[in-house]
Amino acid sequence: MAGRGTDVPFVNEEFLDFGDGDIRRSIQEALTAVKARLGHEYDLVIGGHRVKTMAKIVSINPARPAQIVGVHQRADETHVESAMQAAQAAFVTWSRTSTQERAGLLFRAAALVRERKFELCAWLTYEVGKNFAEADADVGETIDFLEFYAREALRLDAATTPIQLPGERNQLRYIPLGVGAVIPPWNFPLAIMAGMTAAAIVSGNTVILKPSGDAPTIAAVFFTLLEDAGLPDGVVNFCPGAGAQFGSAIVAHPQTRFIAFTGSKAVGLEIHESAAKTQPGQRFIKRTVLEMGGKNSIIVEADCNLDAAVDGVVASAFGFNGQKCSACSRAIVNTAIYDTFCDRLCERVAAIKQGDPAENFYAGPVVNQAAHKQILNFIEIGKSEGRVLAGGHAVETTDGGFYIAPTVIADVAPTARISLEEIFGPVLAVIKSQNFDDALVTANNTEYGLTGAIYSSSREKLNRAREEFHVGNLYLNRKCTGAMVGAHPFGGFNMSGTDSKAGGPDYLLLFTQAKSVAERLGAISEKDEAEENLMGL
């Protein structure tokens, strides 16, 4: 199947309109079809070989924990060497495959994802609890990453040096690094997993893919889709496994050239530390591409459009139940409108409907029991640090889903624990600011620096925020979630990661190394020169 290719300029995938009756029917049909496939067992795939293990990973539906989504083999330290050897063997040929062919694989994969959009949305709903719009955004971003990175690879392949010295032919080539570990998160288990994998392989690298234990089925479905698009054996090796047994061993392996990771600060720092230790036989400095946590703020000034600010805060804080590294977890509100804002905020939060995402409720479950317990523990801490305006409790259901009511805690001090520590759930702290200077100080007082937003009609304040609000992705008069590939290259400062701007023009540079080649002209025969000119060299 052919993709759009470079003959069509890159545009972001359009969102589906779930108010359209035909689209609603299509998603319902997909949910029914995927439901019939739940519980299937999936193999490890190493160098094209299907492998079974004694130990398994069982993926469940967080809305209905008794419902098994997929059963997966559990890779451990015994599979590390075979995965590495398969990836290294594939690298020999894949690294020498033309950029046009590698980009073509991504274009074909994008076409398949587009063709199977409703099915993939359904998998996201069952495995991680995304409602229809959140699932559609995840699938759309996957298509965008595939299309964008294919074009970016072709652009890099055509790179030239700034000048050509007289008497020389000067070239600048971006060549692959080698074998990399790709370790994606569960919250965008299709888009981020596919994006990191696609960026690595379109650049000529080969990959050992260890998907999240909470979302291995979605990764397995995407891996099969890559195979359908023509992925050669060993270019991507599908290895769900325990982090301590498999992931850590892959990171530490002396032939792992790079690690692309998205997840928590704690795990990201462990990866960075491990990668920095040179192993016997290692001949390079490992590269880490880390996207970690956030403690993101939206500043709400007295001169803002209050309705827009309330809507933006609610969407940013409670979309996908706050389970986004970009989510707003702190609203910093000017004292002049603080009480009014809190009243309006509570009205909006009270209107949020919660239930099974397969029925398209806005608020669904959190991802697993451990997250459920941790978030409730933070809420108890928050009760001692502020005033609960909404939520503050678990929501019991007959199916035993991991539900927590959207929670708002007001009158929180800037230095409170729930103001500084990442919660990764539907919990919003509201902090009062005395003036704009005070708001900026609070916005910058965490160890993170991922996303942020400001609502204000003052050009002076917006311009100051551009310079002084220290985050990787800043939004003015709009929500702080929903980064779009190409328009909002995504990645944060400080403990939010290595500022690896996913979906931007610099991203593929992280998966390549630049090689300068200078040739003195006139040193080969005229016949050879003519043949090279015909070949475009």
Tell me which residues are annotated as active site: 291, 325
Under DSSP, the state recorded for 245 is I
Closest CA to 56 of 37, 40, 67: 40
Closest CA to 197 of 221, 227, 216, 223: 223
What stretches of 279-390 show up as alpha helix (H) in DSSP?
306-318, 338-350, 369-385
Burial of 529 by CB count in 10 Å (0-12 exposed, 13-18 middle, 19+ buried)? middle
Under DSSP, the state recorded for 469 is S
Closest CA to 409 of 334, 331, 310, 466: 331
Report d(CA 230, CA 236) in Å as an integer. Answer: 12
If one counts every other C-beta atom within 10 angstroms of the C-beta of residue 441, the result is 13
DSSP letters of 298-317? EEE-TTS-HHHHHHHHHHHH
Residues listed for the chain:
537
The amino acid occupying position 388 is V
Backbone angles phi, psi at 106, to 5 degrees: -65, -40
Closest CA to 438 of 339, 310, 333, 342: 333
Report d(CA 463, CA 44) in Å as an integer. Answer: 51
The amino acid occupying position 295 is K
DSSP letters of 70-107? EEEE-B-GGGHHHHHHHHHHHHHHHTTS-HHHHHHHHH
Sign of the Cα torsion 221, 178, 491, 317 reads positive
Report d(CA 427, CA 407) in Å as an integer. Answer: 5
Backbone angles phi, psi at 471, to 5 degrees: -140, 160
Closest CA to 504 of 55, 6, 10, 2: 10
Q: Is 354 helix (H, G, I), strand (E, B) or coil?
A: strand
8 A C-beta contact, residue 197 and residue 219: no
Contacts of residue 20, Cβ cutoff 8 Å, sequence gap at least 6: none
Sign of the Cα torsion 59, 375, 295, 391 reads positive
Closest CA to 325 of 481, 98, 94, 517: 481
8 A C-beta contact, residue 479 and residue 497: no
